[in-house]
A and B are shown apart, each in its own frame.
Chain A
Amino acid sequence: MSAHANEHLEDHGHHHKETFVTKYIFSQDHKMIAKQYLITGLIMGAIGIAMSILFRMQLAWPGKSFPIFEALLGKWAPDGVMDAEMYLSLVTIHGTIMVFFVLTAGLSGTFSNLLIPLQIGARDMASGFLNMLSYWLFFISASIMLLSLFVETGAASAGWTIYPPLSALPMAQSGSGLGMTLWLVSMAIFIASSLLGSLNYIVTVLNLRTKGMSMTRLPLTIWAFFVTAIIGVVSFPVLLSAALLMIMDRSFGTSFYLSDIFIQGEVLHYQGGSPVLYEHLFWFLGHPEVYIVLLPALGITSEVMSTNARKPIFGYRAMVTSIIAIAFLSTIVWGHHMFVSGMNPFLGSVFTFTTLLIAIPSAVKAFNYITTLWKGNLQFNPGMLFSIVLFRPL
């Protein structure tokens, strides 16, 4: 009887037989997905760096001819001098790749997937299927973004913030034609990927913590990833709505962002919209976005520092409170990107005040890190060196 029971227990550990495709390509295992995110993120990072080298070369020596431009950029660098629109395209796509594909998906996707189940004692993420989907949507959106570089009229070139009307009107610059449409499609898919991932992280942290792992016993890394995911869920849909309104203005003749425009010799039909609306919608994501980038790194730093200093992180509760405060405040400071946008100056005052508030928790975290180092026994492993360097500029 007991032999039977033992056999039955062993069966629970058995997975279905895995093929090459289910193990390496459409894997639902969080560690494999983390690797996929890491490699894709690194490749996108390398491409972003390559682009930045190209445009910085021309920036450093304006008007100078570089044979490598002609070799790489073809018609976009006649006689080796970069075309002005190609310069703007490189800057735009570099920014988009680095902020979204490398720092959001590449960072959060890799480390949240890898560490959350391991550090909270769960077997895997809440939904392996959604996790797999979120990676493949990320891959598709990255491919579309890269493909947009090879479009005949050029990639999106209105800056990574793609303010309308420049980005909404194909006649304003050639990069606002097909290149811009592909940018919008890529970002819509990217946002879907990011939301699926964030949902997964939130549900996993809330529901799948092992017995005895109360929220106040969570490692700071997990707190950081959890709060980052919440910020993501709150702010990315607003970027999606901004993109959708942009698609409607570009393709269906609406006037959300456009009004009273005379271009290429004629008055356009748009009436009643405002580019400032786009700026508000964009920066409502744009500001939390930078905290989505920062918080996971701070979370990892907390753990790496405390381990390598051989003492607990100083002020655990204060650190958690700071993370939550930063997350909450990050949703009410977006206007500090828009002081000269033409919005009411009083609104600028309000955002200045909230920006003052958000500086405080960041300062608290920095001082807590220094106190963690104080009277520790610091092991300068590579992770420790990186952690110290990370918060040096803070």
Chain B
Amino acid sequence: MTSFLTIAVLVFLGAAIYQMTKIFELSQAGKDHNQIANDKDNKINGYLMFGFLIFIYGITIFSFVKYTKVLLPAASSEHGSDYDALMITSFALILVVLVIVQALLHYFAFKYRGKQGVKALYYADNNKLELLWTGIPVVALAVLILWGLYTWTEIMDINDDDDPIVIELYAQQFNWTARYAGDDNVLGEANVRLIDIDRANILGVDESDSYASDDVIVKELHLPVGRKVNFKMRSQDVLHSAYMPHFRAQMNCVPGMITEFSFTPTVTTAEMRETKATKAKVARTNAIRAERAARGEDNSDPWEFDYILLCNKICGKSHYNMQMKIIVEEEESFQEWLASQATFGQQMTAN
């Protein structure tokens, strides 16, 4: 009965709208139906165009003021500051060009709004002008790109200088495991064909490899501050991506291939927790969580800041939740923690 009444109401509503439209059209009998823009339309749109310019300037400034705080804080790695410098310079350049070009566009749209009887200027080409605005972008972009290329080459030059510690990041659906190379600083050979779940050899490390026995396998990444880390990434099944935003680090984990990335952390977790930006973010987040707790919803425990490793390549159902905590600490507490973990050799003899 309800659905019949609903349908009846909708039908009558439709009929009423139809009739009202017909009546409206009849009332328009004497008016001008020309669809082509006339002087009045051009004037309105011209003013609106200029108004829109003010609007976009305003909303840009507003967004910068209100939302800068949700951007990542200053980088916690050595190359991170070079990376951020490039980013900010690019944005600054873009903003300058934006301000000028948008002003020109909208001002011209306003100034040259159509008027009856005005003749447009016949100006079909000017090769000097073309050369000018080909040349200036070339120079500006060349500088930016060369700087970018230099930075990229520096970041991606993964070498053994500065005595790096070697850590393997092992990705699988849907968790991360880290394997430290141990005292010899060489990772033992590993392959998925050597995986033996029954004996808890989840990473497929080669037991017969002498370098493997001192490897340490953990579920939480600890890094000593100020020491370079060379990451070797492996994947067990599908494409994953090791994304460590605070350190400006990302590299895909490709099954069948070992990929690399390297950085030097410069800010410990403890120091990071004390920074103004982090404190503000924690406060904001916990305010939202408190509201959720009051409503009895999940995920409402207070949050403490931690560096994080996220998966950044769609890998299936729980991709959104594939994370690992990263803790950056002083060298001594790092060594202490590492020493307290079981090595691969010890794990295997225990099984």
Contact = CB atoms under 8 A, between A and B. Distances in A.
Interface of B: 36-37, 41-42, 45-46, 49, 101-102, 104-105, 108-109, 112-115, 118-127, 129-130, 133-134, 137-138, 141-142, 145, 148-149, 152-153, 156, 172-173, 191-193, 195, 197, 204, 236-239, 241, 250-252, 254-257, 259, 298-299, 313-320
Given A261-B237, A378-B112, A166 B316 contact: yes
A17 interface: no
B302 to A, nearest CB: 18
Contact of B141 (A262, A349, A360): A360
A316 interface: yes
Interface in A68-109: 84-85, 88
Nearest to B113: A378
Contacts of B153: 345, 349
Given A169-B238, A267-B193, A356-B145, A378 B125 contact: no
Nearest to B119: A377
A173 B123 contact: no
A311 B122 contact: yes
A159 B314 contact: yes
Interface stretch (A190-198, A209-217, A284-292, A379-387): A379-387
Contacts of A378: 42, 46, 108-109, 112-114
B126 A315 contact: yes
Interface string A235-277: 0000000000000000000000011111101010000111110
A366 B121 contact: no
Nearest to A359: B141
Nearest to B251: A340
A363 interface: yes
B169 to A, nearest CB: 13
A310 B124 CA distance: 12
B158 to A, nearest CB: 9
B316 A379 contact: no
Given A267-B192, A364-B134, 7 more contacts: A158-B314, A309-B120, A310-B119, A340-B241, A345-B156, A374-B108, A376-B112
A341 B252 contact: yes
Interface of A: 63, 84-85, 88, 158-159, 163-166, 169, 172-173, 258-263, 265, 267, 272-276, 309-318, 340-342, 345, 348-349, 352-353, 356, 359-360, 363-364, 366-368, 370-371, 373-381, 384-385, 388, 391-392
26 contacts: A84-B319, A85-B317, A163-B314, A169-B238, A172-B173, A259-B256, A259-B257, A260-B191, A261-B236, A263-B236, A263-B237, A275-B256, A309-B112, A314-B126, A340-B252, A341-B252, A342-B257, A353-B145, A356-B141, A359-B137, A363-B133, A368-B130, A370-B108, A375-B112, A380-B41, A388-B49
Contacts of A349: 149, 152-153
Contacts of A364: 130, 133-134, 137
Contact of B120 (A273, A275, A377, A380): A377
B317 to A, nearest CB: 5
Contact of A84 (B104, B152, B318): B318
Contacts of B126: 314-315
A380 B37 contact: yes
Given A84-B320, A276-B257, A353-B149, A376 B239 contact: no
Nearest to A310: B120
Nearest to B116: A377
B313 A163 contact: yes
B298 A265 contact: no
Contacts of B237: 165, 169, 172, 261-263
Contacts of A313: 124
Interface centre among B108, B122, B126, B299 (most CB of A within 10 A): B108
A353 B121 CA distance: 39
Contacts of A315: 124-126, 129-130
Contacts of B315: 166, 172
Contacts of A388: 49, 105, 109
Contacts of B255: 165, 258-261, 275
A262 B173 contact: no
Contacts of A159: 314
